[in-house]
Amino acid sequence: MTAFIECTNVYKKLKGNLVLNDINLTIKKNEFVVLKGHNGSGKTMILRAIAGLLKLTKGQIIVNNLVIGKDTDFSINTGVLIEYPSFIPVYTGYQNLKFLASINKKVSDQEIRKMIEQVGLDPEDKRKVKRYSLGMKQRLGLAQALMESPSLLLLDEPTNALDKKGIQLITDLLKKEKEKGTTIVVASHDETLTENNIVDRVIHISNGRLGEDNE
């Protein structure tokens, strides 16, 4: 396997505090990595930096041979779910995904409906997203991240607000993505994910620094 993500001497300072402190991280193609740490540990910041959503104070991040912020502004062909998913509240779930899909024009209406079903929602549900529960919004956020068959998935607490059945459904979906060759980086404190045999590595983060990897 070849390196897919290379973070080299990455620093990020916010309001005088180092939220990322000398991050050096290599993730191989098709690897499933879980970043584990408490709230405020820096794991979400790493995802944001890899996605191109965070301007670094120092250092470099390369994703699939492209330098983020130099060769490309954002990580290409990447499915992203970071923090709470935001949608147009007066649209249905299907209308939201159709609107997002119109940007890249990669997926058909039928593929959108199929993806909504795969995350356990009803594509024909006429309720507006503003009436969705937190768990339903989380599922829709995952559908958004997955629907264009990305080569890289960056997911922040993907099991948040999900019940046991929902967590199992998402775990099964991520297993299928890994089998397809997708590189997956998940920030999570959920033991269900970290104990799953589809995960290749668990990397601990504390105070913006990486700890030892668990193989």
Residues 111 and 20 in one domain: no
User: 61 near 67, Cβ under 8 Å?
Assistant: yes
Q: How far apart are CA 34 and CA 155, in angstroms?
A: 9
pLDDT band, residue 215 (cuts 50/70/90) = very low
Are 45 and 109 part of one and the same domain? no
Burial tier of 50 (Cβ tally within 10 Å: 0-12, 13-18, 19+): buried
In a domain, 183, yes or no: yes
Contact 153, 144 (CB under 8 A): no
Mean pLDDT of the region 167-184:
94
Query: What's the mean pLDDT in 158-175?
Result: 90
**Domain match, 10 and 53 both:** yes
Instruction: Tell me how far the alpha carbon of residue 82 is from its chain's centroid.
Output: 6
pLDDT value of position 85:
79
Give the end of a domain, one of 101, 130, 149.
149
Q: Are residues 38 and 97 in the same domain?
A: no
Query: Checking DSSP bridges between strand 183-187 and strand 32-36, what pairing results, if any?
Result: parallel
- Residue 192's pLDDT band, with cuts at 50, 70 and 90, is confident
**Among residues of the chain, what percentage have pLDDT more than 70?**
97
> 136: helix, coil or strand?
helix
* β-pair partners for 60: 8
Eight-class DSSP state of 68? B
Residue 28 and residue 8 in contact, taking contact as beta carbons nearer than 8 Å: no
What is the token pair recorded at 198? 């589809």
Q: Which domain holds residue 64?
A: 1-77+151-215
Q: Name residue 68's amino acid.
A: I
Q: pTM of the entire structure? A: 0.93
Number of structural domains in the chain: 2
Domain CATH number, residue 65: 3.40.50.300
Q: Choose one of 149, 173, 191: the last residue of a domain.
A: 149
Averaged pLDDT score across all residues of the chain = 92
131 shares its domain with 192: no
